[in-house]
Amino acid sequence: MSNLTVWERVTLARMSTRPTAKFYIDNLFERFEEFHGDRYFGDDRAIVGGIGNINGVPVTVIAQMKGENTKDNISRNFGMPNPEGYRKALRLMKQANKFGRPIITFVDTPGAFCGKQAEERGQGEAIAKNLFEMMGLNVPILSIVISEGGSGGALGIAIANEVWMLENSIYSVISPEGCASILWKDASRVKEASEVLKLTSYDLKEFGIIEKIIDELGEGAHVTKNEIVKNMKEEIVDFIERFENKSGDEIKEQRYQKFRKIGEYEIK
């Protein structure tokens, strides 16, 4: 699908029929056990986390979760996490670090929730703490952008040793709509903004921000999801095997150098 326009990819990434993280969790992991709550405020249904097995290897799974229908989307705040969601994610990541489990995260959010209550409960601090803490974890972290990766809301669970994207997913510092409104004070220039943002998997692979593009096999994930998940499972198993003999210090250093290189690229 390399001949699609950027806006066509944005549209595909946002399709209501595109598989949510629930599909990948159900089909990649055996005996997934969901955990709830951040031990401070409550449970955020926009982030799901727990322990599962993949080919017999226990892993911690954390996913930003959109709903599969209108009612479910409302209960999950359309995949926009509150601070308690990020704190739940961090609680589970620290648990994974303690017990030596690899961490797999699924990114799918237009952005962190920016409501008044979220700000009152420390949205910015919760995301910033995740960025800081994830950099120091001794276990390998893999983050997969399956649809939308929006700004710090996505990055809050994506400080990983490797970041992968589905072919028609998007990952950006801001939405095309927000970019058009800020740059040109004209939301109708959204297609132009999407081109400027360089938000496709192909752009980000070229820049070295992601390590892998997961092929959607021509028609898109909403059609080829079963084939995609089969290929994805093989790739995840390979990722775990590549890191299993590395020390905690080696894993941390590799992650640090990955983001250091990104920072140096941006400075240039």
- The token duo for 50 is 């727990």
Torsion (CA) 204, 195, 224, 243 in degrees, nearest 10 = 10
Alpha-carbon span 148 to 154, nearest angstrom: 8
pLDDT at 129: 97
pLDDT over 50 (residue 181): yes
Note whether residue 24 is domain-resident. yes
Strand 103-109 with 57-64, pairing: parallel
Note whether residue 164 is domain-resident. yes
- The token duo for 88 is 């739940």
Note whether residue 25 is domain-resident. yes
Give the range of the structural domain holding residue 109, as residue numbers without chain letter: 16-173+198-267
Q: How much of the chain exceeds pLDDT 70, in percent?
A: 97
Helices 190-197 and 176-184: crossing angle, nearest 10°?
Answer: 100
Number of domains forming the structure of the chain: 1
Note whether residue 230 is domain-resident. yes
- For 230-255, what is each residue's pLDDT tens digit? 999 999 999 999 999 999 999 999 99
Note whether residue 2 is domain-resident. no
pLDDT at 2: 62
Note whether residue 183 is domain-resident. no
Which range among 45-49, 98-102, 221-225 shows the weakest confidence by mean pLDDT?
A: 221-225
Note whether residue 181 is domain-resident. no
Note whether residue 1 is domain-resident. no
Alpha-carbon span 168 to 11, nearest angstrom: 9
Average pLDDT over residues 84-95: 98
Alpha-carbon span 114 to 124, nearest angstrom: 10
pLDDT over 70 (residue 155): yes
Strand 170-172 with 103-109, pairing: unpaired
Whether 49 and 89 have beta carbons less than 8 Å apart is answered as yes
pLDDT over 60 (residue 268): no
Residue 58, domain CATH: 3.90.226.10
- Tokens 């021509």 — which residue? 218
pLDDT over 90 (residue 266): no
Q: What is the pTM of this model?
A: 0.93
